[in-house]
Amino acid sequence: DWKMQDVLEEQLKLIQSTIGPTEHAICALSGGVDSTVAATLVHKAIGERLHCVFVDNGLLRYKERERVMSTFEKELHLPVTCVDASEKFLSKLKGVTDPEEKRKMIGREFICTFDEFALKLERELGKKPSFLVQGTLYPDVIESCPPPGSGKGHSHTIKSHHNVGGLPKEMQLKLVEPLRWLFKDEVRKLGELMNVPVGFLKRHPFPGPGLAVRILGDVTQGDALEIIREVDEIFINSLKEAGLYDSIWQAFAVFLPVKTVGVQGDRRSHSNAVALRAITSEDGMTADWYQFDPKFLADVSAKVCNSVRGVNRIVYDITSKPPATVEWE
Ligand code: XMP
């Protein structure tokens, strides 16, 4: 793709001239496509003067930390520090049930963790890093400063998405946003040009607050985190095996704080219900629920109930957006 090759070379020069020959930059990797492509690009431009951090907030999916760290280190050779802050996040979230309260708590905790990383780095380098790399895309730019009367930017008033511009102003880091003129499909092309694995570039979007908005109520209740990780993993693997993953925008499981009666083996059970959600969408602003072949859903349901302890009922969400949102919280 000659056009993307040009964009790549142009961006590399631009990043080099912006950051200069001696300054350092930091980047928080979320495990998603955008921050990964942005970091890979800046790494190409300034090498080891880029310092990435990946925060395990305890709200990640099944084996997510191991999987993304392996991609970052073994495949992309990014200089990345993994900070395990899961206990800190989870202890703060104990007893918190309001969705917005959860988001705010997670946003605050993230900033604290990031600050600590930046300070430690400053001590190691003997100087302050002066740039912050972010994977902001063109639609994020439009959405956060919408033209008047466009009706865009709306979702921010419904849910506080903390991953756009969510870092403390007092850090005085200058922003480097090399993807701010690109759409998602262009970012994927750019990633491909830099040898980011194609499977990684096709990952579904995942919310910053992670599983906290997929466990209704208290995130720390019972085995909720463990259960939702296992169900999600089974669902996603089934989608991949059926060749459906790439035609779906987002798919996931939701832990319901509801116990229902079942019969498992020759015994009566009183266990949790879990909801599955899969949608198609262009941009996440509106979405349609995905119409699976019933046999697919039956297979996933049987697999989950047979192998995940503590689950005896699966329901499928047949609501589009609007009137529902994508996430349940
Ligand atoms: P909703 O649920 O608002 O989701 O219809 C639209 C898209 O945004 C994601 N989402 C979030 N992403 N922080 C994020 O980074 C959040 O707090 C958040 N809430 C929802 C959701 O997964 C979907 O892709």
Q: Where in the chain is the domain with CATH 3.40.50.620?
A: 2-201
Position 140 scores a pLDDT of 85
Position 158 scores a pLDDT of 57
Domain 214-316 in CATH 3.30.1370.100? The answer is no
Q: Who has greater pLDDT, 160 or 101?
A: 101
pLDDT band for position 156 (cuts 50, 70, 90): very low
- The Cα 215–Cα 250 span in angstroms is 17
Q: Is the pTM of this model over 0.90?
A: yes
- The Cα 47–Cα 40 span in angstroms is 9
Position 164 scores a pLDDT of 44
Amino acid letter for position 46: I
Q: Where in the chain is the domain with CATH 3.30.300.10?
A: 214-316
Nearest CA to ligand 1 atom 3: 325
Q: DSSP assignment of 59-124, as one string?
A: ---TTHHHHHHHIIIIIS---EEEEE-HHHHHHHHTT---HHHHHHHHHHHHHHHHHHHHHHHHHH
* Stretch 267-284: mean pLDDT: 96
Position 146 scores a pLDDT of 61
* Stretch 126-151: mean pLDDT: 82
Q: Is 165 in the pocket of ligand 1 (CB under 6 A)?
A: no
| ipTM, 2 dp | 0.99
Token pair listed for 155: 């979702």
Q: Who has greater pLDDT, 141 or 328?
A: 328
Q: Residue 247 annotated as binding?
A: no
Domain 2-201 in CATH 1.20.1250.20? The answer is no
* Stretch 282-303: mean pLDDT: 96
Position 126 scores a pLDDT of 97
CA 214 to ligand 1 center in whole angstroms? 11
- The Cα 295–Cα 274 span in angstroms is 18
Q: Is 326 in the pocket of ligand 1 (CB under 6 A)?
A: yes
The continuous run of DSSP H or E covering 238 comes out as helix 224-241
* Stretch 145-153: mean pLDDT: 55
CA 141 to ligand 1 center in whole angstroms? 16
Q: Is 208 in the pocket of ligand 1 (CB under 6 A)?
A: yes
Nearest CA to ligand 1 atom 17: 161
Return the number of other C-beta atoms located less than 10 Å from residue 77's C-beta.
10
Q: What is the mean pLDDT of the chain?
A: 93
Is residue 167 over pLDDT 70?
no
Is residue 155 over pLDDT 90?
no
- The Cα 260–Cα 42 span in angstroms is 51
* Stretch 30-58: mean pLDDT: 98
